[in-house]
Structure 1
Amino acid sequence: MSTGTATEVMSVARHVDASPEAVFRVLADPGRHAAIDGTGWVREPLDDGAISGAGQVFGVGMFHSNHPDGDYRMHNRVEVFDPPRALAWQPGQYGPDGEIGYGGWIWRYDLEPAGGGTRVTLTYDWSAVPAFLREHISFPPFGEEHLTRSLDNLAALV
């Protein structure tokens, strides 16, 4: 396991005993995201089917005790879709105007063959979060242990 934190980017890497293709298939299935998530905030998928390309939006139910509603929904726009090497998305929420607004943080998984399995790097990048959101949300909203648990959960699923 290796970790690294820059000012507004946090990443953790670990070896997973599965091929990059197998790891990517799990990551591309929003129905598996709740089992991967190290915080327990991610709940059920809101859409059927796998992630299939950049620009796609997929929704997930969420829960956080500090959220004003407790239960809420995130609609994630796929920013990188490069099977079996990389997958990244930017979470957002629908506003009262019916448009999705994105907060400026990105989740990214990078996969590379290594030692008969895959080296998976999970990165959380909040460098593009605008000042007005930083007034209401502390970044990062969790520590590196969340990313480490997420990769441990992913390794167990594959």
Structure 2
Amino acid sequence: MGNERFEIQRRIEAPAGQIFEVLTDPHGHVRIDSSGMLQWAEGERVRQVGDEFVVHMDRESLNDLPMGKYDVTVIITRLVPGQEIEWTISGTIQPPIEHLWGYTLQAEEGGTLVTAYYDWSRIRPEYRGVVNFPIIPEAGLRATLGILARTVEKH
């Protein structure tokens, strides 16, 4: 299967708690998205594994599949307050693909080392070779970290 996960790191000059606030807010996901697919979100701040929220998507931003506008439910699979958040999605494509997205935060002097990751190693066999993975390239995650930095850093 090869490498089916990548991680991008960036040091952000903001406390881990402040960054975590953005990452646990459904609207925060939309604000920092670099792909242009996330249009708007509905739901409450996530606080534990199993929490969910809805994101209204527009696949035309990627121009890879003729899906147009659709909704996904973000399902939190891992949550360590102030340190880690991970999720999968369920939506139009059923059964769910089972890829994972997440962030880990490591507090450092004067900031936080943020690691964003995308893991498609567990995708269901019926999607292999049908959907092109990774859906978002490493550059997309790098750009999202840049937007996250711009969102939380004080200049």
Q: TM exceeds 0.5?
A: yes
Quick one: distance in 1 between partners of 2:8 and 2:91? 26
Quick one: distance in 2 between partners of 1:87 and 1:32? 13
Matches within 5 A, 1:74-113: 74-93=72-91, 101-113=95-107
How far apart are residue 94 of structure 1 and its match?
Answer: 5.8
How far apart are residue 126 of structure 1 and its match?
Answer: 0.3
1:44 counterpart = 2:51: no
Partner of 1:142: 136
1:155 counterpart = 2:153: no
Paired residue type of 1:118: T
Partner of 1:62: 57
Partner of 1:123: 117
Partner of 2:70: 72
Structure 1: runs of 5 or more not aligned: 1-5
Could you list the runs of 4 or more consecutive aligned residues of structure 1 that deviate by over 6 angstroms after TM superposition?
Answer: none
Percentage identity across aligned positions?
A: 28
Q: CA RMSD in A?
A: 1.6
Quick one: distance in 2 between partners of 1:82 and 1:101? 27
Quick one: distance in 2 between partners of 1:43 and 1:115? 35
Structure 2: runs of 5 or more not aligned: none
How far apart are residue 101 of structure 1 and its match?
Answer: 3.9
What SS does the aligned partner of 1:150 have? helix
Find 1:8's aligned residue among 4, 12, 25: 4
TM-score, with normalisation over the residues of structure 1? 0.87
How far apart are residue 104 of structure 1 and its match?
Answer: 1.4
1:24 counterpart = 2:20: yes
Once the two structures are superposed, residues 94-121 of structure 1 have per-residue CA deviations (whole angstroms, 9 ceiling, x without a partner) of 67xxxx7431110110000123100000
What SS does the aligned partner of 2:35 have? coil
Quick one: distance in 2 between partners of 1:31 and 1:156? 16
What SS does the aligned partner of 2:67 have? coil
Q: Is the 8 A contact 2:87 2:102 kept in 1?
A: yes
